[in-house]
Amino acid sequence: MTYQVLARKWRPRRFTELVGQEHVVRALSNALDTGRTHHAYLFTGTRGVGKTTIARIFAKSLNCERGQSADPCGECAVCTAVDEGRFVDLLEIDAASNTGVDDVREVIENAQYAPTRGRYKVYLVDEVHMLSKSAFNALLKTLEEPPPHVKFLLATTDPQKLPVTVLSRCLKFNLKRLLPEQISTQMQHILKAEGVEHEMTALHELARAADGSMRDGLSLLDQALAYGAGALKADDVRVMLGSVERSQVLALLKALAEHDGQALMLQCDQIASFSPDFGGVLDELAGMLHRIQLQQLVPDLAADELVGEEHAELVQLAGRFDPQDVQLYYQFATRGSHELNLAPDARTGFEMTLLRMLAFQPDDGSGGAARPQATAGRSSESPQGGTPFDASASASPAAMPEPVAKVPPAVSAPAPMSMGADGLPDWAQLIDKAGLRGPMKALAINARIRSFEDDTLELLLASSHAELAVEPMTSQMAEHIGKALGRRIRLRFVGSDIGPGDDTPAARAEHRRQEQQRVAEKSMHEDPFVQTLKRDFGARVVPQSVRPLDR
């Protein structure tokens, strides 16, 4: 007997056999069982999620000889004919190859005739968005007032290209991408029924590579079985897909956590020996970083596929990375995956992405390796003596730290902390020394020191930023400030009606910005060239268009 590919052999023939799409199955089942079926349905979703499969089951349910229901018998002549693709009243039209108005006109003319064998004549139009504009116009009238014995089932991967006049005449169902767990579970069910030996790790690899498509997953499964000569092993699947073991990715993260560039490059060499898909490795790295961040910030939701030793390593790494660094590394990994085609070759782009993560390692407090502040504000002042305009501006080359020397740096005492007239530390200087950034910095600059006693630093916080004073950020902030002060401290926030005029770093920065803006506008209006333009040509300075210079 001729071999039949798994995607066709195991195509669902009843609604109960479908994987996922419960929201669609429930709505269609209720419509069939109650006899309240619409004349036109539109099924949307990515490839291989069940659009045409659901349409065929729906057509079989409408015409089953034992009566219309959501559970067709699968045994009568109609059900058998539909399953075998020879039911005369189910007309499948590929809109990608039948785009013209003449093709649609033929459908419309035949729609008026009664079905030959079933109760309904069902038109299944696949990739309906490929129809031409004139073909859509020809179809509209029939969609609006179809004969009672006709049902239209439209399927598309790109519903945005359908005219709204067509969308308004259909019941629309959006089919979801399948989860890797759903795909791997179905694969396991199929392999058990086929009597094929398999490793669950191999199924997980295939399910992730399927990218939400059951059909793609089963096609990959067929390919893997051919590659493994009828057996399914994880090592064979990784070679076929160009993927690597998770332990290899965990080793990359471990080297980053230890700030060990040599170990990082050695691990890159080991991964490269497998000739992997480097984009896929970066995607796996991003997935690991996502799970680490969950473990750090929402441990109750950090359910993971990793078990045993791998899970223990992930939990350990979560305790070694700064949560803000994890966000930065995740951004590097996802961006690096998209930029591989811009690199001289894929391996170079992969290594540069990891070296970028290594270059942005945090300061360990010993005066050694330091992180270049790629998102730090500029430290130079404007000609008018102002402050940095944006904390999100790119750092100028002059603001970047010197490369780390290969010889041990000289030991020097930390710079003394300035104290105010009230005997309290200079809060703005302390924020800079602690290296606070992001939400942590936003929290700090909108507060001011109220007291500092018994290792407890009490801060008055503007009520507009009270939502930032939550764990674990406040604990991390206390750790950073404690390192800057050279001792362990605790932070206590007290809500206050701090306003723009109060003495907070943010208020001072805003005052300097306004003064800088005032000086810039005055300089513009007093400029001789501008005055000449205004006098001779009636020119005017557009309000809010003047910005201070920024070196």
For 112-140, the pLDDT digits (tens) are: 888 988 899 999 998 899 888 888 888 88
Same-domain check for residues 253 and 344: yes
Q: Do 132 and 64 share a structural domain?
A: yes
pLDDT above 80 (res 73) = yes
> What pLDDT does residue 424 have?
83
Minimum mean pLDDT range among 87-101, 307-321, 385-399, 441-455 = 385-399
Helix (H, G, I), strand (E, B) or coil at 14: coil
* Number of compact structural domains in the chain: 4
List the CATH number of the domain containing 459. 3.30.300.150
- d(CA 404, CA 265) in angstroms, rounded, equals 18
Alpha carbon dihedral 92, 98, 100, 102, in 10-degree steps, equals -60
Listing DSSP states for 56-101 in one string gives HHHHHHHH-TT-S-SS--S-SHHHHHHHTT--TTEEEEETTT--SH
Looking at the structure, tell me whether residues 117 and 21 fall in a common domain.
yes
Question: What is the H or E stretch that residue 327 is in?
Answer: helix 323-338
Q: Report the sign of the C-alpha dihedral through residues 431, 432, 435, 437, in that order.
A: positive
Asked whether residue 296 is domain-assigned, the answer is yes
Check whether 316 has a pLDDT greater than 90: no
Q: In degrees rounded to 5, what are phi and psi of residue 119?
A: -80, -35
Please report which confidence band the pLDDT of residue 494 belongs to, taking 50, 70 and 90 as the band edges: confident
Do 251 and 236 belong to one domain?
no
Do 153 and 124 belong together in one domain?
Answer: yes
**Structural domain ending residue among the three candidates 241, 263, 280:** 241
In contact, 52 and 124? CB cutoff 8 Å: yes
Across-strand partners of 456?
453, 490
Q: C-alpha angle 100/101/102, rounded to 5°?
A: 90
Mean residue pLDDT across the chain: 81
Same structural domain for residues 113 and 253?
Answer: no
**In a shared domain, residues 55 and 99:** yes
Q: What is the pLDDT of residue 302?
A: 60
Asked if residue 25 and residue 45 are part of one domain, the reply reads: yes
Burial class, 508, CB count within 10 angstroms (exposed 0-12 / middle 13-18 / buried 19+): middle
Q: What is the DSSP string of 264-306?
A: HHHHHHHHHTT---HHHHHHHHHHHHHHHHHHHH-GGG---S-
Mean pLDDT to the nearest integer, 141-146: 84
Contact partners, residue 253, CB within 8 Å, separation at least 6 = 285, 288, 289, 292, 317
Residue 478 in this model has a pLDDT that exceeds 60: yes
Percent of the chain at pLDDT > 70 equals 85
* Segment 403-426 mean pLDDT: 52
Q: Which one of 143, 174, 205 terminates a domain? A: 174
Q: What gap in Å lies between CA 477 and CA 532, rounded to an integer? A: 54
Interval 419-440 mean pLDDT? 80
Percent of the chain with pLDDT over 90: 30
Taking the CA atoms of the chain, what radius of gyration do you get in angstroms? 33
For the stretch 357-380, pLDDT in tens is 988 765 444 444 444 433 333 333
pLDDT at 43: 94
Provide the pLDDT for residue 266.
93
Structure tokens at 470: 């939550």
Quick one: pLDDT at residue 254? 92
SS3 187: helix
434: its two tokens: 């602690």
User: Half-sphere exposure of residue 145, counting CA atoms within 13 Å on the CB side?
Assistant: 1
Residue ranges making up the domain that contains 434: 427-498
Q: Give 192-215 pLDDT, tens digit per residue.
A: 999 988 989 899 889 988 888 999
The confidence band for 498, taking pLDDT boundaries of 50, 70 and 90, is: low
**CA–CA distance, 168 with 239 (Å, rounded to integer):** 48
- Which pLDDT score, from 0 to 100, does residue 76 have? 92
pLDDT higher than 90, residue 518: no
| Among the ranges given (95-104, 233-242, 359-368, 535-544), the one the predictor scored with the smallest mean pLDDT | 359-368
- Position 393 pLDDT exceeds 50: no
pLDDT at 2 over 80: no
What pLDDT does 362 receive? 55
Is residue 542 situated within a structural domain? no
| One domain for residues 236 and 273 | no
**Do 187 and 139 belong together in one domain?**
no
pLDDT surpasses 70 at 95? yes
Least confident residue range of 51-60, 93-102, 423-432, 475-484 = 93-102
Residue 498 near residue 462 (C-beta atoms within 8 A): yes
Instruction: Look at residue 523 and tell me if it is in a domain.
Output: no
Give Cα separations from 127 to 42, 58, 97, 160 (angstroms): 11, 18, 10, 12
pLDDT (0 to 100) of residue 396: 37
In this structure, is residue 226 part of a structural domain? yes
Confirm if 56 and 72 have CB atoms less than 8 A apart. no
Domain endpoint, select from 223, 241, 259 = 241
- Is the bond preceding residue 472 a cis peptide, omega within 30 degrees? yes
* pLDDT score recorded for residue 215: 92
Residue 428: partners with Cβ closer than 8 Å, 6 or more residues away: 445, 505, 508
**Helix H or strand E segment including 40:** strand 40-44
Whether residues 323 and 472 share a domain: the answer is: no
Q: Which residue has the higher pLDDT, 415 or 315?
A: 315
pLDDT at 414: 46
Looking from the CA of 91 toward its CB, the CA atoms found within 13 Å total 20
Q: What is the pLDDT of residue 197?
A: 87
**Are 146 and 152 in contact, with CB atoms under 8 Å apart?**
yes
| Per-residue pLDDT at 119 | 92
In a domain, 460, yes or no: yes
Q: Is residue 256 very low, low, confident or very high in pLDDT (cuts 50, 70, 90)?
A: very high
Non-local CB neighbours of 416 within 8 Å, separated by 6+ positions: none
Output the six-digit token pair for 381: 């002042």
Span 142-159, average pLDDT: 90
- Give the CATH number for residue 35: 3.40.50.300
Cβ neighbours, 10 Å, residue 206 = 28
Euclidean distance between CA atoms 203 and 501, whole angstroms:
62
Distance, CA of 435 to CA of 363 (rounded, Å):
9
- 347 has a pLDDT exceeding 90: yes
CA distance 534 to 527: 11
Do residues 112 and 33 share a domain?
yes
- Whether 536 maps to a domain, the answer reads no
Q: Give 258-265's long-range contacts (Cβ < 8 A, gap of 24+).
A: 259/358, 259/361, 259/364, 259/369, 261/355, 261/358, 264/354, 264/355, 264/358, 265/351
Averaged over 433-443, what is the pLDDT?
85
Write the CATH number for 237: 1.10.8.60
Instruction: Provide the 10 A C-beta neighbour count for residue 48.
Output: 23
Q: What is the pLDDT of residue 349?
A: 93
User: Does the residue 387 lie in any domain?
Assistant: no
Q: Is 39 a domain residue? A: yes
